[in-house]
A and B are shown apart, each in its own frame.
Chain A
Amino acid sequence: MILALLLIPVIAAVLSLIVRNDILRRIILIVTAISHTAITITAWSVEPSVLWNGWLMLDKPGLLFLTITSVLFLACSFYAFGYLAGEAKSKKQVFEEETFFTNAPEAIFCACVEGFLATMTLVTVSQHFGLLWVAMEATTLASAPLIYFHRHHRSLEATWKYLLICSVGIALALLGNFFMVIAATKPASEGTAIVLNALIGQGHNLNIQWLKAAFLFFLVGYGTKMGLAPLHTWLPDAHSEAPSVISALLSGALLNCAFLGILRCYQVCSAAGEAQFCQGLLVLFGLISIGWAAIFILGQADYKRMLAYSSVEHVGILALGVGIGAGATFGAMLHAVNHSIAKAMLFMTAGNIIAVYKTKTTKDVRGILSVAPITGVLWIAGFLAISGIPPFGIFVSEFTIAKAMIEQGRIGIAVAFLAILAVVFVGMSAAFLNMAQGPKNNDLQAKDRPAVAFTILPPIALGAIALMLGLYIPPVVNDLLHSVASVIGGY
């Protein structure tokens, strides 16, 4: 089953490069997404067999993050179908400047996006830290060409930053891997293989100093990829310059996968009795990220960059939640699900707004509600969902995290957390509401794009899930979230 999950996207990627017909290639993309999601859902009831001496195994955290990735990819594949059909083949103008550009060939787009899925799947099923590293670096390489889909110098700049900063970050995580091997080596004996369960079993025999160093390097290395401030510098550029559907995948799926890498190391550290050390670091990085993002969200002139900074804020909340521990761990896991869905929905809607208004500047967009009513409603709903307004899911997860802070008596952190959330809310509401309301600009017509249903339905579906998770969490999902939380030291 795991092999099928890995091989289907790889085969699809190869096919995409061979096939000459655009429509057929898009259908392959959708079929890949559907079959991947179908297998993932089967994995909820039938536990997939363990492969390669336990190197590949779908444990609870892996299953959770795999499901997020797979569902988002399904939504994105439908969106991409419409998006690719609507993209003109001719030269287009860069929004911000007087220059022209063309797109990368569609075959490369499809192949890379399928390869991206395969590498992210490998991240979620890897139990061996070395393999996890290989998969993590591969996600960077598979997604870099996607950021450079619109071939102009702005996206090229973003791609270069993404490639270099993430590669260097992940190289440091490789050093973290080596430190972990040393931590597992005992004098005059064979060391333990750095497979997750073996390390957890050996927990108390690990060398603490090297393990702490390993966690530090994992946090810095994968934290770069995850977008924790101040290591996030590639993130706003990449998210604003990539096509919106790719931004949705980067933000909703990739950042979570990087977080999984940190969680794996955290699991080992907890088994060695060093959870407190790691939690301190996670709380620190979490608070810095949330605060940093808030500063840049206020007065942000580009709405896609604003969404990107909002991602920095939310990965900060994830780190903070795990750092607080206890009940907040469940909150953080729920938050990972909620954030992915709400953020993907927002990026898709942003893509639809760009298609109508041809600009990414916040102040040039007015009256979405009257120009394109459905998109306008989705934009407002997405804003409410992402800022944690009830009845959307993020309210529940942020509330759970804040509640755990107060229960532990960490009032200072709780106050700072809620205050920054309020600042972000104010900053985002000004931008979002101004964009949605206002007079209708008469030069603009909501042109019916050829496949408009494909670009409207996925964000509606994601919005519905975001709303549902706020009102009712299905028992299966709830059980999974609780068991993931208990695996990583909370409840």
Chain B
Amino acid sequence: MNNAADIIMIFLVLTNLMLLGLSRLGACIRFVALQGVALGFLPLILNHWDMEVHLVIFSIVIISLKGIVFPWMLNRTLRELASQREVEPFIGYGISIIAGTITLVMCMWLSSRLPFPEPLMSPLIVPVAFFTIMSGLFLIISRKKALTQVLGYLVLENGIYAFGVALVGKQPMLVELGILLDIFVAVFVMGIAIFHINREFDHIDTDQLSRLRS
């Protein structure tokens, strides 16, 4: 079963690199959604397809939120934006991918040095989770559009979630659902804010949100 977890991890690495290199916003949304669906299966895989009610519900909630609801909300926002569907990076796609690869190596090195209390299900999980977190932060910093920043936030969150599922195991359901609810509302509120930014400024480039200084 470890193979399945490894495949998901490799899939995460590839989608992260894709996100760093993609120029179409619509495609970015689809890849973040795919990441979410893959992660939704992670708790089931790590527990050897043990169909506990708690786990199944959790997986279904994750997949429907990250795979269906978020992409739908973001796509709806994207449709409002009519003509602006490019990512518009501050840092070019090629350099982004190279930076991503270097980060991946560093994450591998870092996690080989961390002491873990229990042997891990898959040696790839920790480096990949850290890499996903770093990719998310990189997307937030290096892209102009407010929508890409939300995507970056979702990728960051995916990384943290992967880390949590792999290492922390079962947390009380209430906390897990609370965290998901918060993220859902966060994306919802950010979506509304983007809608207003678009209406107010006729664009969603955050580098022009710079009137408030010192």
B residues whose Cβ falls under 8 Å from a Cβ of A: 115-118, 133, 137, 140, 146, 149, 153, 156-157, 160, 163-164, 167-168, 171-172, 174-175, 178-179, 181-183, 185-186, 189-190, 193, 196-197, 200-201, 206, 209-212, 214
Q: Are A174 and B179 in contact (CB under 8 A)?
A: yes
The reply to whether the CB of A288 lies closer than 8 angstroms to some CB of chain B is: no
Residues of chain B within 8 A (CB-CB) of A31 are: none
Q: Are B209 and A160 in contact (CB under 8 A)?
A: yes
Contact pick for A156, options B175, B186, B197, CB 8 Å: B197
Q: Are A171 and B157 in contact (CB under 8 A)?
A: yes
Residues of chain A within 8 A (CB-CB) of B137 are: 168
Residues of chain B within 8 A (CB-CB) of A164 are: 140, 149, 153, 190
Interface size class of A (residues with CB under 8 A): 35 or more
Secondary structure of the B side of the interface?
Answer: helix
Contact pick for A145, options B156, B179, B189, B206, CB 8 Å: B189
CB distance from A179 to the nearest CB of B (A): 9
| Cα distance A140–B185 in the bound complex, in angstroms | 10
Residues of chain B within 8 A (CB-CB) of A114 are: none
CB distance from A190 to the nearest CB of B (A): 10
Residues of chain B within 8 A (CB-CB) of A300 are: 214
| Cα distance A137–B209 in the bound complex, in angstroms | 23
Interface 9-residue window, one of A65-73, A128-136, A224-232, A321-329? A128-136
| Contact of A167 with B186 at beta-carbon distance under 8 Å, contacts A157-B209, A185-B118 already known | yes
Contact pick for A182, options B116, B174, B183, B209, CB 8 Å: B116
Q: What are 19 residue pairs bridging A and B, where the CB atoms are less than 8 Å apart in the complex? A: A130-B178, A130-B179, A131-B175, A134-B181, A137-B186, A141-B186, A145-B189, A151-B196, A154-B212, A156-B196, A159-B193, A160-B209, A164-B153, A164-B190, A167-B186, A174-B179, A182-B116, A187-B118, A241-B212
The reply to whether the CB of A209 lies closer than 8 angstroms to some CB of chain B is: yes
Nearest chain A residue, comparing its CB with the CB of B164: A178
CB distance from B69 to the nearest CB of A (A): 16
Contact pick for A153, options B140, B181, B186, B200, CB 8 Å: B200
CB distance from A136 to the nearest CB of B (A): 9
| Cα distance A181–B170 in the bound complex, in angstroms | 11
| Cα distance A253–B47 in the bound complex, in angstroms | 42
Q: Are B196 and A148 in contact (CB under 8 A)?
A: yes
Nearest chain B residue, comparing its CB with the CB of A136: B182
Q: Are A182 and B117 in contact (CB under 8 A)?
A: yes
| Cα distance A29–B181 in the bound complex, in angstroms | 26
Q: Which 4 pairs, one residue from A and one from B, show the smallest C-beta to C-beta distance?
A: A130-B175, A134-B178, A137-B182, A157-B209
Proximity bits, A161-204, B CB within 8 Å = 1, else 0: 10110011001001100100110011110000100000000000
Nearest chain A residue, comparing its CB with the CB of B115: A209
Residues of chain B within 8 A (CB-CB) of A154 are: 211-212
Q: Are A144 and B193 in contact (CB under 8 A)?
A: yes
The reply to whether the CB of A313 lies closer than 8 angstroms to some CB of chain B is: no
CB distance from A6 to the nearest CB of B (A): 14
The reply to whether the CB of A296 lies closer than 8 angstroms to some CB of chain B is: yes
| Contact of A141 with B182 at beta-carbon distance under 8 Å, contacts A164-B190, A181-B168 already known | yes
| Cα distance A138–B185 in the bound complex, in angstroms | 9
Q: Are A175 and B186 in contact (CB under 8 A)?
A: no
CB distance from B138 to the nearest CB of A (A): 12
Q: Are A171 and B118 in contact (CB under 8 A)?
A: no
Contact pick for B193, options A156, A182, A241, CB 8 Å: A156
Residues of chain B within 8 A (CB-CB) of A157 are: 209-212
Other A-B pairs beyond A134-B179, A178-B160, 13, CB < 8 Å: A131-B174, A134-B181, A137-B186, A138-B182, A138-B185, A140-B186, A148-B193, A153-B211, A154-B212, A171-B153, A185-B117, A187-B117, A193-B172
